Amino acid sequence: MIAFLIKRLMHAFVVMFVISVISFAIQSNLGDPIQQMVGQSVPESQRAELREELGLNDSFLVQYGRFAVNALQGDFGYSYFFNEPTTEVIQRHLPATLELVIAATLIIVVFSVPIGVYCAIRPRSALSRFFMSVSIIGISIPVFLTAIMLIQLFAIGVDFSPFPSGTGWGQWLNGLLSTEGGMPSYGRGNDLTHLFGTWDSNFFSLDGLTYLVLPAVSLASIMLPLFIRLIRAEMLEVLQSEYVKFATAKGISLKRIYFVHALKNTMLPVITVGGVQLGTMVAYTILTETVFQWPGMGLMFLEAIQRSDIPLIVTYLMIVGLIFVVTNTLVDLIYGLVNPTVKLTGKPA
């Protein structure tokens, strides 16, 4: 166990090292940060001075060496735009992103398990077919579009009236097709609950939650169908297995077979995929946060790219790399708990 964790720690170091080298290597393609810092009429001599001051003229190895030495001491440099240590900037933006990911995960868990199980138990029912076709659509629509559609439907509202509005039935049908709007369309709102440090939460007030709904739904929209289909497929397979047939023959109640014996075995591959997807979801927050102006890491990263804020870009990439390694480690640990035959250390059983 300890050996496994130490091994993973080494992995994390290697991953972060590789990421930092790569992001440093591409920085010359990320544009000139000086251009973003100064006005248009600043003469070249001034720019050169500033460039020298920031050490941008040094060779790649010198710049990387300087960065690596500082990074090992926990100093990842100053953001050009925020004028603050990059780690502080990220600390401030991290809670918003985590909350969004947590909310989306909750939505995914709450909906995918029952729907997936139902679709496996009643594969031919009309409702199952409906879920399956909707999930295909869900997978194929990009997050960006989902987000904009959600805003149009629930924040701005649509007035759609193909039926004659003079008649009672027409009005009723029009009412069904139109939406009111009124949901907040951007940001986290003002009603945040302070937890600790830089963490202000949306979870503890009704107003805060309304701000969370649309971004979380659009972030979940890409993963939810995937999980519904995954759980359905796994469950179908498990339901064909010998021990389920045996349990049925033994007369154990169907409910118990479905939700205790079958579901448990269904969840193994789901957890593996889930762990990997959790990391991917952090990456997807870039799109969701941009559309909803959600003040998290994703939006911060996109803006950092536009401003060529290289220290912030490098730190963000390294931290996301770390998140990937940590979630994968956790998944492996949970895997061991769910299925004791899995040996983490890789020694022969």
Partner 1 sequence: MIDKKTLLASLLGASVVLPLPALAQDSSSDSDPVTLRMAYDADPVSLDIHEQLSGGILQLSHLTHDPLVRWTKDVKFEPRLAADWERIDDKTMRFTLRDGVKFHTGNDFTAEDVVWTINRLKRSADFKAIFDPIASATAIDEHTVEIKTHKPYPLVLNLATYIFPMDSEYYSGETEDGDPKDEIVKNGDSFASRHSSGTGPYEVVDRQQGVKVEFERFDDYWDKDSPGNVDRLVLTPIGENATRVSALLSGDVDFIAPVPPNDLDRVRADKNVELTTMSGTRIILMQLNQKRVEAFEDPRVRKAFNYAVNQQAIADRLMKGFATPAAQLSPKGYDGYNDSLEPRYDVEKAKELMKEAGYEDGFSVTMMAPNNRYVNDAKIAQAVATMLSRINIDVDLKTLPKAQYWGEFDDRAADIMMIGWHADTEDSANLFQYLTECPDPETGAGQYNAANYCNPELDEKVAQANVETDRAKRAEMLQAVEKALYDDAAFMPLHWQDLAWAAKKNVKLEPVVNVMNFPYLGDLVVEQ
Q: Which residues bind partner 1 (CB under 8 A)?
A: 29-32, 35-46, 50, 53-54, 78, 80-84, 148, 151-152, 155-157, 181-187, 190-191, 207, 290-293, 295, 299-300, 303, 305-308
End-to-end, the C-alpha distance of the chain in Å comes to: 14
Nearer to partner 1 by Cβ, of 211 and 258: the residue is 211
Nearer to partner 1 by Cβ, of 37 and 121: the residue is 37
Nearer to partner 1 by Cβ, of 80 and 316: the residue is 80
* Cα gap 56→81, rounded to integer Å: 16
φ and ψ of 78, to 5 deg: -105, 140
φ and ψ of 27, to 5 deg: -65, -30
**Which 3 state secondary structure label does DSSP give 139?**
helix
DSSP string, 43-81: -HHHHHHHHHHTTTTS-HHHHHHHHHHHHHTT---B-TT
Nearer to partner 1 by Cβ, of 75 and 303: the residue is 303
Nearer to partner 1 by Cβ, of 78 and 259: the residue is 78
Query: Considering the complex, what minimum distance in angstroms separates the CB of residue 144 from partner 1?
Result: 9
Query: Considering the complex, what minimum distance in angstroms separates the CB of residue 182 from partner 1?
Result: 8
**Residue 258 in contact with residue 143, Cβ under 8 Å?**
no
Q: Taking each helix axis from N to C terminus, what angle separates 86-121 and 126-140, rounded to the nearest 10 degrees?
A: 150
**3-state secondary structure labels for all residues of 239-295:** HHCHHHHHHHHHCCCHHHHHHHHHHHHHHHHHHHHHHHHHHHHHHHHHHHHHHHCCC
DSSP bridge partners of 116: none
Query: Considering the complex, what minimum distance in angstroms separates the CB of residue 141 from partner 1?
Result: 16
Query: Considering the complex, what minimum distance in angstroms separates the CB of residue 293 from partner 1?
Result: 5
Query: Considering the complex, what minimum distance in angstroms separates the CB of residue 71 from partner 1?
Result: 19
Nearer to partner 1 by Cβ, of 24 and 324: the residue is 24
Nearer to partner 1 by Cβ, of 50 and 132: the residue is 50
Query: Considering the complex, what minimum distance in angstroms separates the CB of residue 183 from partner 1?
Result: 8
Query: Burial code of 4-34, b = ≥16 C-beta within 10 A, e = fewer?
Result: beeebeeebeeebeebbeebbeebeebeebb
Identity of residue 44 = E
Query: Considering the complex, what minimum distance in angstroms separates the CB of residue 14 from partner 1?
Result: 30
Nearer to partner 1 by Cβ, of 46 and 161: the residue is 46
What is the separation of C-alpha 218 from the centre of its chain, rounded to a whole number of angstroms?
Answer: 11
Nearer to partner 1 by Cβ, of 35 and 280: the residue is 35
For 194, the enclosing helix (H) or strand (E) is: strand 193-196
Query: Considering the complex, what minimum distance in angstroms separates the CB of residue 52 from partner 1?
Result: 12
* Cα gap 153→147, rounded to integer Å: 10
Query: Considering the complex, what minimum distance in angstroms separates the CB of residue 307 from partner 1?
Result: 7
